[in-house]
Structure 1
Amino acid sequence: MDIRDLWAEALAGVLARPVRSALTTLGTVLGITTLVITLGVAATAGNQIVGRFDELTATAITVEVPAGPGGPLVGWDSPAEVRRLRGVTSVSALAQTEESSNLRVTANDLVDPTRVTGQTLAVVAGDPELPRAARGRMVEGRFFDAGHVRRGDRVVVLGDQAARMLGVTRLTGAPAVFIEDRAYTVIGVLGGLGREQVLSTAVIVPPTTGVGLGLRNVTRVLVNTSLGAADLIARQAPVALSPNHHDELQVISPPTPKRARDGVQDDVNGLFPILGLVSLVVGAVGIANVTLVTVMERVSEIGLRRSLGAARRHIAAQFLLESTLIGMTGGVIGAGAGLVSVVAVSAAQRWTPVLDARLALAAPVAGALVGLLAGLYPALRAARMEPADALR
């Protein structure tokens, strides 16, 4: 047979019964769709679940310090009290105000109309522990130490992006920057920040130097903890920082394990009902397809029953009941097979099986309902047959 004739015959056979062909195709489509959904949704949910557990490894705590009416709520020496808490790996205090967030900083005091020599940058005061607390590293030079703080030296450390914007590429020759027309010596460049990314575009000064820029009071404290200690330190840090005003401090901490556990449970509970519903649709299409084939094969029987006095509703009820019984039988067998599979997989993986008795009882009902809905079209088609046409 020529390939063109074969193609024409196959196409004619498919189009001869378009509804049956459509149902058969729909079953294949839903089967492939189920496979894609199962793999895609499972991967997505797995990634979401991993993300939930990644939250447990977060060890960064930020304490926001508001302005106190009677004076500073947290002093520059208060982080030392937090550092004594068990589980704290590093802590640092920062000072930043709205005014200091937009100060003009220039790399020299010359006015050159042909190039940009100044930038509007944030100026932040911090203690010597800031690089460690911000999880950064010195790209160039060094960070200021306790000696610079004690003497009130006019030195600054630039964030790596701030250094590029100001054109400070080398520290040889002790370059200076001008903040509000006052010169400060650049002694280092801070980069590779793991938190507080805003510092990459900031100018960092010692606390004593920041007094002249309006940075007198601590506005936030950065705390890093060991794994698993964040929840406890989040409760203890405000008391250590300001015993008399700890309730006025705002703590931003990682989510608790309970929140992560609840999130994982919600993700899993939302995943498997979707897969179950898709599987039910596939089963419904299969029942509808088989019932429709049955109707086509029993045309003479339908014609004989109609000629002997059976009404349309009798024929429709017969096929509806058959499809319902098929669905209910599948529900009973499926529930039993599913429970056995859960127990077998749990035993193989050494898990504790979690079985819901209500699901086993509801499965036959769900199967019967699916069979009833799937048999509607075939039953209506059987009921519409005329006795003479069926017998012919």
Structure 2
Amino acid sequence: MSQLSLKFQLIPRTLQFRFEAGTSRGVLKTRNIWWIKAYNEESPNQIGWGEAAPLVKLSIDDRQDFEEVLKNTLEKLEKVEWSLEEDEILDTVKKNVSFDFPSIRFAIEMAVLDFVNGGQKKFFSNLFFEEQKAIPINGLIWMGDREFMMQQIQEKLESGFSCIKMKIGAIDFKQECELLEFIRKQFSPEQMILRVDANGAFSPEEAHSKLAKLADLGIHSIEQPIKAGQWDTMRLLCKSTPLPIALDEELIGVKEKDLLLDTIRPQHIILKPTLLGGFLESRKWIAKAEERGIGWWMTSALESNIGLNAIAQLASQYQPSIHQGLGTGKLYHNNLESPLQIQNGEIHYNSVIPWEEPK
């Protein structure tokens, strides 16, 4: 079987948000990422690209020595002989990159798979890339004051989205419910899916009553109503909830997937490959969720278009019919130009548009 040696180059970039992106963990104005270039000196025009993008205050690999660890990891991987087979590539990454650095795992998986697939920003066979099959996505409403959130809602409605996800927990809960009610008065649950993401903002004592009020508005689901790590409390909440609960932050850094799912028994889980460890770990979560009848969808963790493209291709392998969280490509002033386009609430891969090369 053919073996391959690769060189790696690191290209850091600070992405600039177009607006102050509010979450219950604070406001984001910039985003540090590291693009990974994989190449072979015998094929100088064939390049594979990956992206390491730990999320501040959330990723387990958000740490001061991240770039140093990343550089050392790339040096180590230059001594590795790579298979051309997808399963063996993913296994090699798992063996050589610690579970404690999920965004590095994902970046290396991306870069090597892209290289072996010809260096065309394709990681494996999927309809999103090969047949430009669109994926339905939710329109994301960021936290802010009431006027800013209303402005975003109007823009999403005018853009043809049939699923809107609103981040909540920043302003008064009553005002947030009024914003959701504004949408619901115009569109029934059959016409417009409404999701909310609390990012752990509710206290355990108030969670059930707030979920009941949201359920009255015909909300599809709520992501992470209480802070992660309270498995017993979350289990009781999932058992009695009037509204389907989706675990998000709860999955980060968890090795015992079976134990978490069997203990909490959520209605859904949210998959962010950058935070979970890439393609291989995300597929494991999906398999275990589906075994238990637990729903799932995939979302970006605010990567550049390099990472977003990889997540969309992974989602596409499962031919999703429900809305994914892949609408983050226009967040930044200085994102890469790419074939990724959003039209009528769907993300497309328009192969006519060339990629801007990272630099």
Task: Please report the TM-score for the alignment, with normalisation by the length of structure 1.
Answer: 0.21
Structure with more of its chain in strand, by fraction: 2
TM-score by length of 2: 0.23
Q: Greater helix percent: which structure? A: 1
Which is greater in Rg? 1
